[in-house]
Structure 1
Amino acid sequence: MEQLQVKLGEKAQITTVMQEVFATEVGAVYQCNKRNRLVVDFANAQIVLKVDAFLRLKKAVDSIDLRDMAVNTQRCSDYELLTVCGCEKLYVLTLPEIYSFKELLGGAKFALELNSMLHECLHTQVA
């Protein structure tokens, strides 16, 4: 477990203990069971998301065509603007950043699904 300071709302800044779900060299995703939220730490910003907003963010990142960005010679293809409903952050990402973000979000989703399956199996056997 890691202690992480996050801003939940505009009025209060609290420090709470969060479980690291998945981390790479460029970021990490933490889970707050107390508030049922995920904290995505990427691109020098921490955002607090509900699980459904996290899944929408992952879907939006996955929908970006990296190959098309790489082969397109127009200057506007050098960056991608990314935001989703439920996420207050507007990301302006380059091709390598998008690749890293895809890796981070994909790993976090896999870890969450694996944890859920293990929890379900353990509780099924106990009952």
Structure 2
Amino acid sequence: MTHLTELYTNAKGTACQCDRSARIMIEFGGYKMAFKINDFFLFKCKVDSVDLHAMIFNLSDEYDFEVIEAPQANLSLKLTLCDLVHLRDLLAGAKFMIELNSLLYERIYNVPAYV
């Protein structure tokens, strides 16, 4: 019996919620990461803070990729512009589903959710 609930999937990865460990599991481009819920939101903010406009319009080689640290998962990701767009989509979809699940739980059981 699996304890993973799929939250969101796109062409580059999958986001799942583990009921046993209360972690968000991200598989993206060959990387596997597990985050506590608060760490997931911090990681999402870090990914969202990358200036995609600068990456698009700056012709310097240093803007060809961005290095994102995920210390909670002991990873350092080297991502291209396309990778960043896909990762942002994956994280946004997962965040939406987490918030939706929390809202439904709160409404159905009339108790505050954890998010």
Q: TM-score with structure 1 length normalisation?
A: 0.82
Structure 2 residue 95 is the aligned partner of structure 1 residue 109 = yes
Structure 2 residue 78 is the aligned partner of structure 1 residue 78 = no
Give the number of equivalent residue pairs.
111
Q: Equivalences for 1:116-127 in 2 at 5 Å?
A: 116-124=102-110
Structure 2 SS opposite 1:104: helix
Partner of residue 40, structure 2: 54
Q: Distance in 1 between matches of 2:58 and 2:3?
A: 44
**1:64-94 CA distances to partner (integer Å, 9 max, x unpaired)?**
1111110001100001000134231110000
Would you say the 8 A contact 2:70–2:77 is kept in 1?
no
Which one-letter code corresponds to 1:59 in the other structure? C
Would you say the 8 A contact 1:53–1:85 is kept in 2?
no
Percent same amino acid among aligned pairs?
31
Q: Which of the residues 49, 55, 63 maps onto 1:69?
A: 55
- What 5-or-longer segments of structure 1 have no aligned partner? 4-15
| Larger gyration radius, structure 1 or structure 2 | 1
- What 5-or-longer segments of structure 2 have no aligned partner? none
Divergent runs of 4+, >4 A: none
Q: Distance in 2 between matches of 1:105 and 1:52?
A: 13
Structure number with greater CO (CA < 8 Å, separation at least 6) is 2
Q: TM-score with structure 2 length normalisation?
A: 0.91
Q: Give the CA RMSD over aligned residues.
A: 1.5
